[in-house]
Structure 1
Amino acid sequence: MIPLWRTDPEAAAGLGWRRIAGAAAIAWVAPWGLALVLRAAAVPVAGSSAELLLLDLGVLLVMVPLFSWAGLLPGAVVAAWLIRRGFGGLGPILISGFVVALLVGVVMGVGTGFAAAGLLLSGLAWGVLLILAPGRLRPPT
């Protein structure tokens, strides 16, 4: 069962910084993989407006990791803090990713659009963490 709000802090105690950093790193580079898929999808529709759309989305995804590290670093610290205190469910992680990215976006002067990337990347990192550490993020008993 996927924990939505609370997690078992005792189970998460064995969750090391390596796994949290690894999940954040995978979430950081994942947009590049999706950009490659979009590039390959653009080949069959060459010469159409669909090709331009796919290539533009691919370029956007290539740019995401260039800026998202600024939110992933503090976001990983906040996520680790939440997980260790029993609030490592999907809801708190998504909310914290959104808030951290919103604050970083305002500080960097890029506005609130940065918050959407924080929401998506925090959810992706949380999902990767579920795979890397099965049983560590489980609901409290």
Structure 2
Amino acid sequence: MLPRLVRSPFIPLVMFVGLIGFVFTVAEDARAQSSLVFFAALLLAAVFLLWVILVLQHNKKHPRQKVSLNSLLPPELREMDEGERWITFNACRNVYIYYTFALPISTSFCILFPDFPYLALSLIGVLGVGQYIVYWLTIRKLNQY
């Protein structure tokens, strides 16, 4: 259970959505919402600290399958054998296909609706969440075989 949780794309997804929410909160009138900004920062720090604790616990229990805390490679990209490399290849391919359609659509929204100041930031959040969903659904589908 612990290796699946540490390598799951949902923890980075929660941190990403939390960061987008934090940026939205700070972008509003920060003086009027100082307690909300503090709560958002505290929640984001708590999720990050929980992830670090889980990774350290995983590394202690599974010394041959360590997850690096300072690696640029996401922990969900486990490529230990050819089968996992094939699954990762297909998942990344599907995410690439997703971006081929999603980027022009989101650019069109930014061009068509220039009066909405947070539209671009919202679309970045939607693109990131969509990427994790496409990746996770592909991994899940291919792991069933």
TM bucket (normalised to shorter chain) is 0.3 to 0.5
Normalising to structure 1: TM-score of the pair? 0.32
Normalising to structure 2: TM-score of the pair? 0.31
